[in-house]
Homo-oligomer: A and B are copies of this chain.
Amino acid sequence: MSGDRPRIRAAGRARGVPEATVARLPVYLRALHALADAGHNTVSSEELAVAAGVNSAKLRKDLSHLGSYGTRGVGYEVALLVDQISRALGLTQRWAVVLVGVGNLGHALAGYAGFASRGFRIAALFDADTERVGECIAGLDVRHIDDLDRVVAEEQVSIGVISTPADAAQEVADRLVEAGVTSILNFAPCVLQVPDGVDVRKVDLALELQILSFHEQRKADDAGSASGVNGSMKSAAAGTVTPLPTPRVDAREVVGR
């Protein structure tokens, strides 16, 4: 038993699972559910790795951090693995979450079936706009942000989702923390300041596109330098052409910082 170096362990349960591993466990879980649906009772590390989009060595190393739940020469029992990963992720309980900000994105998140199906229950929706309060979205009434404290306490909420504009996000985060929330998922495009003990994860939609933009550019450059010395245009791959020399930053027109 035990991993590489002697990571911290609690009483009986496995602990000190590396962060990179934690981030992949939900992917394995998804793949396992799909395999179970397809009627598989057991699965090899190779099969599961393919289904999860990683290599098998990484998968085995990841699983080894949870314990030894495989059978040498055979593979893993699907149901058992689902059980163990769910347990490791804390999904044996159904977490209550509150969502703040029911604009464009908040609406979609409130109606996202994936939350319910993967261990989460939206306890309440909030907004600061009194126009929106009272509106019913996905079976939930939108409440005013001032009710946050009460709901978080009553429903034992520990996770908050922020889908407000960027300029309101910090204020909302402060209120969530004040109310007792200790984990925040932030969809607003800004950095949040929170006290120790509070976890924040961010999802930035445009940021992901910007990363893709980098790689697109790289591909276009490669294609360009393959033929002409510095292929000024011509093989600009699939990108919107117009390679503007130095357009000065007058970009960023609308909305969020």
Contact = CB atoms under 8 A, between A and B. Distances in A.
A140 interface: no
Interface string A50-85: 011100000000000000000000000001001100
Contact of A23 (B205, B211, B244, B257): B211
A157 B213 contact: no
A174 interface: no
A237 B153 CA distance: 11
Interface string A201-242: 101111111111111111111000100001000000111111
Interface of A: 10-11, 13, 15, 17, 22-23, 25-27, 29-31, 33-34, 36-37, 51-53, 79, 82-83, 86-97, 104-105, 107-109, 111-121, 152, 155-159, 161, 180-185, 189-192, 197, 199, 201, 203-221, 225, 230, 237-244, 246-249, 251-257
A159 B211 contact: no
A94 B242 CA distance: 8
Contacts of A10: 221, 225
